[in-house]
Amino acid sequence: MDSNRIREQIDRMAADLLGQQSQDGAWRMCFDSGTMTDSYLIIVMRLLGRADEHLIRMLAARIASKQEANGSWKVYPDESGGNLEATAEAYFALLYAGYYYEDDPRMVNAKQFILQRGGLSEARSLLTQVMLAATGQAEWPRLLRIPLEAFFSDSGIGLDLFSLSGHARVHLVPILIMANKQFVLRSITMPNLSALYVGSSRTFTNDATWISALSGFISSLPLSSLLEQHSEKALEGAEKFMFDRIEPNGTLLTYSTATILMILALVALDYSPQSPAVNRLLGGILSLICKGRPHLQVASSEIWDTAMLSYALREAGLPSHHPAMERAGAYLLEKQQFRTGDWAMRMPHTPAGGWGFSDVNTLYPDVDDSVASLRAVRPYATEENGLIANWQRGLNWTLAMRNEDGGWPAFERKGKQLPASFFTFEGSSDISTDPSTVDLTCRMLGFLGNELEMTISQQWLDDSVRWVLSQQKRDGSWYGRWGIAYIHGTGAAIQGMMAVGVSPDHPAVRKGLKWLLGIQNSDGGWGESCTSDKVKHYVPLHASTPSQTAWALDALIAVYDKPTPAMEKGMEALLQQLAKRDAAYSYPTGSALPGSVYVHYPSNNYIWPMLTLSTYAKKYGT
> Region 357-363: what's the mean pLDDT?
95
Q: How far apart are CA 163 and CA 434, in angstroms?
A: 9
Rounded to an integer, the average pLDDT of 183-201 is: 96
List, by residue number, the catalytic residues.
368
Q: Please report the pLDDT score of residue 430 as a whole number.
A: 60
Q: What 3 state SS string does 239-253 have?
A: HHHHHCCECCCCCEC
Q: What percent of the chain has pLDDT over 90?
A: 85
CB atoms within 10 A of CB 516: 24
Residue 481: DSSP 8-state: S
Band of residue 419 on the pLDDT scale cut at 50, 70, 90: low
Which tens digit of pLDDT belongs to each residue from 453-491? Answer: 999 999 999 999 999 999 999 999 999 999 999 999 999
pLDDT tens by residue, 365-380 = 999 999 999 999 999 9
Lowest-confidence range among 6-15, 341-350, 500-509, 523-532? 341-350
Higher pLDDT, 449 or 220: 449
Give the chain's end-to-end CA distance (angstroms, integer): 8
Residue 483 has what DSSP assignment? B
Summarised one tens digit per residue, pLDDT across range 395-416 is 999 999 999 999 999 999 986 5
pLDDT value of residue 225: 46
What is the pLDDT, as a whole number, of residue 227? 43
* Whole-number pLDDT of residue 215: 42
What integer pLDDT is reported at residue 212 of this predicted model? 39
Average pLDDT over residues 162-180: 91
In contact, 159 and 147? CB cutoff 8 Å = no
| Residue 416: predicted pLDDT | 58
Looking at residue 148, its pLDDT comes to: 87
Give me the pLDDT at residue 111, please. Answer: 98
Q: What is the mean pLDDT of residues 258-267?
A: 98
Write out pLDDT tens, residues 103-147. Answer: 999 999 999 999 999 999 999 999 999 999 999 999 999 888 888
Q: How confident is the model at residue 588 (pLDDT cuts 50, 70, 90)?
A: very high
- Give 143-178 as a DSSP string: GG---GGGTS-TT--S--GGGS-HHHHHHHHHHHHH
pLDDT tens, position by position, 18-55? 999 999 999 999 999 999 999 999 999 999 999 899 99
